[in-house]
Amino acid sequence: MPGTESQRAFDLIEERFPANSTGSAASEGASAKLVFVAPDGEKVTDQANRAAVTEVVGKVGGLDQVVRAADPYGTAAVSKDGSTAYASVTFEVKAKDVDDAGLEGRFTEATGRELFAATSQLVHLAGWMAQDEGDTPELRGLAQGYYAHSFRLAAEAGDAELSATALRGLAVQCVDLGYRAEAVQLGEACVEYGRHLDNPRAVAYYEATLANAAAQDDDRHMATKHLAMSETAIGRPAVAGSDSWAAHYSPGRWAHESGMILSRLGDLDAAEEHLHLALDIHGLDRRRTRAIVLADLGGVRLRQGDIDGAMATWRDFLDCADGIRSVKVQAALRDMRVRLRRYSAVPEAQQLRERAGHITD
């Protein structure tokens, strides 16, 4: 309904993340992306997988109304680890005019919704992978496009949780890009979609999304309100057997995100407490997650004026970070090095900077 948070989300996405924003050709015709994921332990560049991908892309390129199906191997559209390949498809007509007469078989409306939902999940995963691959404008744009398309597919499926999860991805991107007002609006829509879900972890996920956006927008009242609501939700028993994206929002992830929201609000003691809780929950076996939490905890301790505590925490962070390939870890390393420049007269600070430099090189 026009005027609701959901309708505003649609309007905002069309304004900020248009469906076709890759150039003049795209503005004339619809576009789509084929995502190929290699089986566990294999790569899309392996001979058999490459042949299968090439065959599918060739068949798609030969369909009526298709102008071009780009070869992922010829357009550098393969992830660095070789697990995923992306093929861009350009149509000669707009999305609403794409003819499905060539599709074989028929299916019920319920099956159609299931197909939209499954595709939404896959596209969202592609967005997350693009976002985690690097911090370049190209990859950010690719992630935004995937998240926006995932939302549209989820809306077609009538799936509130998938819709909210896609909006969460876009809200986080807006925060990272400095679009604070847009992030809050997307967070509000995210919460609206998740309001009637029976999955408490999903509700906590979306409430924390809005709390974070509000904190970034310096709206303490809204941030505190929705942070409390997320805490209430995360404290409820998890839904057994749920395998949705939002269902994996664990108490540890909530504690970490809440700690950073509290840090943004200036409540450093509570932030430190939540980050310690996150470390206790995650344990020692999740190195990437633990490294990121330690990096954030070091920053909080520095803001508290505890320089020795900050350096001790960052020393543990470097022990965890060594050998981990992650955009977030690399960003944390750069942030730590910059903050330690102020302490050039402290030998340990310079040692930490040098260690971080070796890891980022």
Q: Quick one: residue 66, left, alpha or beta (phi over 0 = left, psi -120 to 50 = alpha)? A: beta
Tokens of 189: 């829509």
Q: Is 58 within the bounds of a domain? A: yes
State pLDDT tens for residues 3-26. 455 566 667 766 666 554 433 333
Residue 166 lies in a domain: no
Q: Are 158 and 128 in contact (CB under 8 A)?
A: no
Q: Is residue 49 part of a domain?
A: yes
Task: Look at residue 26 in the predicted model and tell me its pLDDT.
Answer: 38
The model carries a pTM of 0.73
Q: How many domains, the chain?
A: 1
Apex 274 CA angle, 270 and 278, nearest 5: 170
Q: Which two tokens stand for residue 339?
A: 């903050």
Using DSSP's 3-state secondary structure scheme, residue 89 falls into strand
**pLDDT at 306 exceeding the cut of 50:** yes
Structural Rg of the chain based on CA atoms: 22
Give the pLDDT of residue 106: 54
SS (H, E, C) 116-139: HHHHHHHHHHHHHHHHHHCCCHHH
Residue 86 within a domain: yes
Whether residue 319 is contained in a domain is answered as no
Q: What is the mean pLDDT of the chain?
A: 84
Cα dihedral across residues 180, 184, 185, 190: positive or negative: positive
Q: What is the pLDDT of residues 86-132, one digit of tens each?
A: 888 887 876 556 555 444 445 677 877 887 888 888 888 888 888 87
Do the domain assignments include residue 48? Answer: yes
Decide if 282 is inside a domain.
Answer: no
Report yes or no on 67 lying in a domain: yes
Listed range (26-40, 218-232, 310-324) with the worst mean pLDDT: 26-40
**Best-predicted range by mean pLDDT among 34-43, 170-179, 222-231?**
222-231
75 lies in which domain range?
31-92
Between CA 296 and CA 256 the distance in angstroms is 9
Q: Is the pLDDT of residue 296 over 90?
A: yes
